[in-house]
Amino acid sequence: MDKVIVIAGPTGSGKTTIADYLYQKYGVIKVITHTTRPKRKNEQSGIDYYFETDETFDDNHYLEQVQYSYYRYGSSYEGLRRAWSKNSIASIVLDTAGAITYLKELGAQVEILFLRVNEEKTLKDRLLKRGDSLEAIQKRIDSPEYRRDMQLPEELQGRATVINNDDWEHTKQKIDQFYQRVKEATKKIPNEG
Protein backbone atom coordinates (compact mmCIF):
# COMPACT_ATOMS: atom_id res chain seq x y z
CA MET A 1 0.00 0.00 0.00
CA ASP A 2 1.32 3.45 -0.91
CA LYS A 3 1.80 5.74 2.06
CA VAL A 4 2.11 9.47 2.56
CA ILE A 5 3.87 10.90 5.59
CA VAL A 6 2.12 14.13 6.56
CA ILE A 7 4.43 16.42 8.53
CA ALA A 8 2.70 19.10 10.62
CA GLY A 9 3.65 21.41 13.46
CA PRO A 10 4.32 25.09 14.07
CA THR A 11 6.53 27.32 11.97
CA GLY A 12 10.16 26.62 12.77
CA SER A 13 9.50 23.22 14.36
CA GLY A 14 11.53 21.48 11.64
CA LYS A 15 8.95 20.16 9.15
CA THR A 16 11.03 20.98 6.07
CA THR A 17 14.24 19.75 7.69
CA ILE A 18 12.62 16.37 8.38
CA ALA A 19 11.13 16.08 4.88
CA ASP A 20 14.65 16.71 3.51
CA TYR A 21 16.16 14.13 5.86
CA LEU A 22 13.60 11.51 4.78
CA TYR A 23 14.45 12.22 1.15
CA GLN A 24 18.21 12.16 1.60
CA LYS A 25 18.33 9.08 3.78
CA TYR A 26 15.44 7.00 2.42
CA GLY A 27 14.49 8.52 -0.93
CA VAL A 28 11.03 9.53 0.36
CA ILE A 29 9.67 11.85 -2.35
CA LYS A 30 8.40 15.24 -1.26
CA VAL A 31 5.06 16.39 -2.61
CA ILE A 32 5.52 20.00 -3.65
CA THR A 33 2.55 22.21 -2.80
CA HIS A 34 1.36 25.53 -4.15
CA THR A 35 1.37 28.87 -2.36
CA THR A 36 0.78 32.58 -2.87
CA ARG A 37 3.28 33.42 -0.10
CA PRO A 38 6.33 35.40 -1.29
CA LYS A 39 9.44 33.35 -1.91
CA ARG A 40 12.05 33.45 0.88
CA LYS A 41 15.69 33.83 -0.06
CA ASN A 42 17.12 30.35 -0.79
CA GLU A 43 13.72 29.06 -1.91
CA GLN A 44 13.15 27.92 -5.49
CA SER A 45 9.96 27.47 -7.43
CA GLY A 46 9.35 23.80 -8.25
CA ILE A 47 11.63 22.69 -5.40
CA ASP A 48 10.28 24.30 -2.25
CA TYR A 49 6.85 25.26 -3.56
CA TYR A 50 5.15 26.17 -6.77
CA PHE A 51 4.96 29.91 -6.13
CA GLU A 52 1.69 31.28 -7.49
CA THR A 53 -0.11 34.59 -7.80
CA ASP A 54 -3.72 34.96 -6.65
CA GLU A 55 -4.70 34.46 -10.31
CA THR A 56 -2.56 31.39 -11.14
CA PHE A 57 -3.35 29.68 -7.81
CA ASP A 58 -6.84 28.84 -9.04
CA ASP A 59 -5.56 27.12 -12.19
CA ASN A 60 -4.73 23.94 -10.23
CA HIS A 61 -6.95 21.13 -8.94
CA TYR A 62 -6.59 20.76 -5.22
CA LEU A 63 -7.15 17.83 -2.93
CA GLU A 64 -7.33 20.44 -0.18
CA GLN A 65 -6.48 24.10 0.19
CA VAL A 66 -6.23 26.48 3.12
CA GLN A 67 -5.51 30.03 4.08
CA TYR A 68 -2.57 30.21 6.48
CA SER A 69 -1.21 33.46 7.85
CA TYR A 70 -2.77 35.63 5.09
CA TYR A 71 -1.66 33.44 2.16
CA ARG A 72 -3.15 30.51 0.29
CA TYR A 73 -1.68 27.02 0.19
CA GLY A 74 -2.91 23.96 -1.67
CA SER A 75 -1.90 20.44 -2.59
CA SER A 76 -2.94 18.49 -5.66
CA TYR A 77 -3.75 14.82 -6.30
CA GLU A 78 -1.43 15.01 -9.30
CA GLY A 79 1.49 15.91 -7.04
CA LEU A 80 0.81 12.96 -4.78
CA ARG A 81 0.42 10.54 -7.70
CA ARG A 82 3.65 11.83 -9.22
CA ALA A 83 5.48 11.17 -5.94
CA TRP A 84 3.98 7.68 -5.59
CA SER A 85 5.03 6.82 -9.15
CA LYS A 86 8.64 7.15 -7.96
CA ASN A 87 8.41 5.65 -4.47
CA SER A 88 5.65 4.01 -2.44
CA ILE A 89 6.40 6.41 0.42
CA ALA A 90 5.87 10.13 -0.12
CA SER A 91 5.97 13.05 2.30
CA ILE A 92 4.03 16.29 2.45
CA VAL A 93 4.35 19.30 4.76
CA LEU A 94 0.90 20.59 5.75
CA ASP A 95 -0.78 22.75 8.37
CA THR A 96 -2.98 20.89 10.86
CA ALA A 97 -6.17 21.63 8.88
CA GLY A 98 -4.58 20.00 5.82
CA ALA A 99 -3.46 17.04 7.91
CA ILE A 100 -7.05 16.48 9.09
CA THR A 101 -8.34 16.60 5.50
CA TYR A 102 -5.67 14.15 4.34
CA LEU A 103 -6.64 11.74 7.08
CA LYS A 104 -10.32 11.95 6.09
CA GLU A 105 -9.59 11.56 2.37
CA LEU A 106 -6.83 8.97 2.41
CA GLY A 107 -7.38 7.08 5.68
CA ALA A 108 -4.91 4.25 6.22
CA GLN A 109 -2.56 5.59 3.55
CA VAL A 110 -1.73 8.53 5.82
CA GLU A 111 0.92 8.52 8.55
CA ILE A 112 1.16 11.73 10.56
CA LEU A 113 4.15 13.29 12.26
CA PHE A 114 3.47 16.20 14.59
CA LEU A 115 6.49 18.22 15.66
CA ARG A 116 6.86 20.41 18.66
CA VAL A 117 9.59 22.08 20.70
CA ASN A 118 9.77 22.54 24.47
CA GLU A 119 10.06 26.33 24.46
CA GLU A 120 8.17 28.61 22.09
CA LYS A 121 11.15 30.97 22.02
CA THR A 122 13.15 28.30 20.19
CA LEU A 123 10.84 28.70 17.21
CA LYS A 124 11.47 32.42 16.84
CA ASP A 125 15.23 31.94 17.27
CA ARG A 126 15.24 29.34 14.50
CA LEU A 127 13.28 31.57 12.13
CA LEU A 128 15.77 34.39 12.69
CA LYS A 129 18.62 31.99 12.03
CA ARG A 130 16.83 30.71 8.91
CA GLY A 131 16.97 34.28 7.62
CA ASP A 132 13.26 35.19 7.86
CA SER A 133 12.77 38.96 8.25
CA LEU A 134 11.55 40.29 11.60
CA GLU A 135 8.50 41.62 9.81
CA ALA A 136 7.64 38.23 8.30
CA ILE A 137 8.19 36.51 11.66
CA GLN A 138 5.92 38.96 13.48
CA LYS A 139 3.20 38.62 10.85
CA ARG A 140 3.38 34.86 11.19
CA ILE A 141 3.31 34.88 15.00
CA ASP A 142 0.29 37.19 14.98
CA SER A 143 -1.74 34.88 12.75
CA PRO A 144 -4.47 32.70 14.29
CA GLU A 145 -3.19 29.67 12.36
CA TYR A 146 0.22 29.93 13.98
CA ARG A 147 -1.32 29.79 17.46
CA ARG A 148 -3.66 26.96 16.46
CA ASP A 149 -0.82 24.81 15.14
CA MET A 150 1.09 24.93 18.41
CA GLN A 151 -1.26 22.19 19.61
CA LEU A 152 -2.05 18.77 18.21
CA PRO A 153 -5.73 18.99 17.23
CA GLU A 154 -8.17 16.56 18.77
CA GLU A 155 -8.89 14.95 15.37
CA LEU A 156 -5.25 13.83 15.14
CA GLN A 157 -4.84 12.62 18.69
CA GLY A 158 -4.08 8.92 18.85
CA ARG A 159 -3.33 8.99 15.13
CA ALA A 160 -0.23 11.18 15.02
CA THR A 161 3.32 10.36 16.12
CA VAL A 162 4.48 13.33 18.21
CA ILE A 163 8.17 14.17 18.16
CA ASN A 164 9.91 16.83 20.20
CA ASN A 165 12.45 18.35 17.84
CA ASP A 166 14.71 20.06 20.35
CA ASP A 167 17.77 17.93 19.84
CA TRP A 168 18.51 16.92 16.25
CA GLU A 169 20.35 13.67 17.14
CA HIS A 170 17.36 12.53 19.21
CA THR A 171 14.97 13.55 16.42
CA LYS A 172 16.89 11.55 13.82
CA GLN A 173 16.58 8.41 15.94
CA LYS A 174 12.84 8.92 16.35
CA ILE A 175 12.42 9.56 12.62
CA ASP A 176 14.41 6.42 11.76
CA GLN A 177 12.14 4.34 14.02
CA PHE A 178 9.04 5.97 12.59
CA TYR A 179 10.22 5.37 9.02
CA GLN A 180 10.83 1.66 9.68
CA ARG A 181 7.25 1.32 10.93
CA VAL A 182 5.88 3.07 7.85
CA LYS A 183 8.04 0.91 5.58
CA GLU A 184 6.66 -2.26 7.22
CA ALA A 185 3.12 -0.93 6.77
CA THR A 186 3.62 -0.47 3.00
CA LYS A 187 3.87 -4.27 2.78
CA LYS A 188 0.24 -4.62 3.91
CA ILE A 189 -2.54 -4.71 1.39
CA PRO A 190 -5.18 -1.98 1.76
CA ASN A 191 -8.16 -2.80 4.03
CA GLU A 192 -6.28 -5.69 5.57
CA GLY A 193 -6.54 -3.92 8.95
Ligand X SMILES: Nc1ncnc2c1ncn2[C@@H]1O[C@H](COP(=O)(O)OP(=O)(O)O)[C@@H](O)[C@H]1O
Size of the chain, expressed as the number of residues it contains = 193
* Position among 4, 5, 11, 110 found at the interface with ligand GDP (CB under 6 A): 11
Closest CB 31 distance from ligand X, rounded Å:
14
Bridge partners (DSSP) listed for residue 78: none
Bridge partners (DSSP) listed for residue 64: 75
Give the whole-angstrom CA distance, residue 147 versus residue 144: 5
Give the whole-angstrom CA distance, residue 70 versus residue 80: 25
Give the whole-angstrom CA distance, residue 136 versus residue 142: 10
Which residue stretch of 6-14, 32-40, 66-74, 101-109 sits at the interface with ligand X (rule: CB under 6 A)?
A: 6-14
34 and 57 Cβ atoms separated by less than 8 Å:
yes
Question: Is there binding between residue 141 and ligand GDP (CB under 6 A)?
Answer: no
> 56 to 85, contacts with ligand GDP by CB under 6 A?
64, 66, 68, 73-75
Would you say 3 or 15 has its CB closer to ligand X? 15
Which residues would be at the binding site for ligand GDP (CB under 6 A)? 11, 15-16, 33, 35, 37, 64, 66, 68, 73-75, 93-95, 97-98, 149
